[in-house]
């Protein structure tokens, strides 16, 4: 049963990675990252259930909280970029190009 | 098959379908709604793993909080640009190759690993042991986490504020 959970988590992780790699929209990329975090949480809780003790739960709780902080800061940055550049396309954000 | 196995198969199928929709939907708003479904079905998986507290936190923070923030951000930016955001994918072939490769390598390791590694046998976690551990062994990371949350929220508000 543990392996079934791990395989589902790996599939969700790969789907999220696909989204991060192929999305042009900055918000779309953030959603892909969200899926990858989610897959990690499934892994942590599966290990905790099948013999890992309470540490998996604690790590998953921390991951959830940190993801919320990450998404808040990430979307604030997206909104600022919108105001400055009027675009969400990650390919067009070349302000740092020398 | 037992009831738990049936539940697992159904929830996993919905989770994978919703995740796929998140990354291939052309409407960003639909993507977010599919993400909400994926996060709620993940909470269902957590319930199957007997992690009721984490399932509640998942629904409250992810499906409630994160999805709301993303919807707000999309509406705000659509108002700023005055047009619906369409989104497309690029480099689908290479993205698919990399993602499939990552999945295949993880799956290979998982399938070859022993079903029950030696040294396992800690008692399954419960909400009571989680609470005790958080306020004893893990109290320092716990408090640092609250500082991080306050810092991140202040930073987000500072970044997104309007100049006046």
pLDDT tens-digit readout, A37-61? 999 999 999 888 887 778 889 999 9
- The mean pLDDT value of chain B amounts to 85
The alpha helices in A1-98, defined as continuous H runs, are 2-22, 26-47, 55-85
From A37's Cα to the closest Cα of chain B, the distance in A is 11
Separation of CA B83 from chain center: 29
Q: Which of B133, B156, B161, B163 is the best residue to mutate to test the A interface, defined by the most A CB atoms within 10 Å of its own CB?
A: B156
**59-78 in chain B: CB under 8 A from chain A:** 61-62, 65-66, 69-70, 73-74, 76-77
**Count of Cβ atoms closer than 10 Å to residue B26 Cβ:** 10
Judge contact between B141 and A34, C-beta under 8 A.
no
| DSSP letter, residue B123 | P
Lowest-confidence region among A93-97, B43-47, B78-82, B156-160? B78-82
Q: Is B36 on the interface with A (CB under 8 A)?
A: no
From A98's Cα to the closest Cα of chain B, the distance in A is 24
Q: Is A49 on the interface with B (CB under 8 A)?
A: yes
pTM of the model: 0.88
Judge contact between B58 and A45, C-beta under 8 A.
no
Q: What is the mean pLDDT of residues B110-129?
A: 76
- Report which listed range, A14-23, B69-78, B107-116, B126-135, is most confident: A14-23
Q: Would you call A42 helix, strand, or coil by DSSP?
A: helix
Q: Determine the Cα–Cα distance for residues A90 and A27; give it in Å rounded to an integer.
A: 9
Residue B125 in tokens: 């976690």
């Amino acid at each position: 049963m543990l392996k079934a959970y791990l395989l589902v988590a790996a599939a969700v992780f790969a789907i999220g990675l696909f989204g991060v790699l192929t999305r042009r929209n900055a918000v779309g990329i953030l959603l892909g990252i969200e899926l990858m975090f989610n897959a990690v949480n499934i892994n942590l809780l599966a290990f905790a259930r099948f013999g890992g003790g309470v540490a998996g739960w604690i790590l998953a709780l921390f991951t959830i909280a940190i993801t919320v902080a990450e998404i808040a800061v990430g979307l604030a940055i997206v909104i600022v970029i919108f105001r400055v550049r009027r675009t969400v396309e990650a390919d067009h954000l070349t302000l740092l190009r020398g | 098959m037992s009831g738990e196995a049936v539940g697992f198969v159904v929830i996993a199928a919905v989770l994978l379908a919703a995740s796929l929709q998140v990354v291939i939907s052309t409407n960003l708003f639909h993507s977010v709604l599919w993400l909400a479904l994926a996060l709620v079905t993940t909470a269902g998986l957590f319930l199957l793993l007997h992690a009721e507290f984490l399932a509640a936190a998942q629904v409250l923070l992810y499906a409630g909080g994160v999805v709301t923030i993303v919807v707000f951000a999309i509406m705000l930016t659509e108002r700023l640009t005055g047009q619906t955001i369409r989104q497309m994918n690029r480099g689908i072939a290479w993205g698919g190759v990399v993602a499939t490769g990552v999945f295949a390598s993880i799956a290979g390791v998982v399938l070859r690993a022993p079903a029950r590694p030696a040294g396992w046998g800690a008692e399954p976690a419960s909400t009571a042991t989680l609470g005790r551990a958080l306020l004893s062994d893990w109290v320092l990371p716990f408090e640092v986490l609250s500082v991080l949350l306050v810092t991140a929220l202040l930073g987000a508000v500072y970044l997104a504020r309007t100049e006046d």
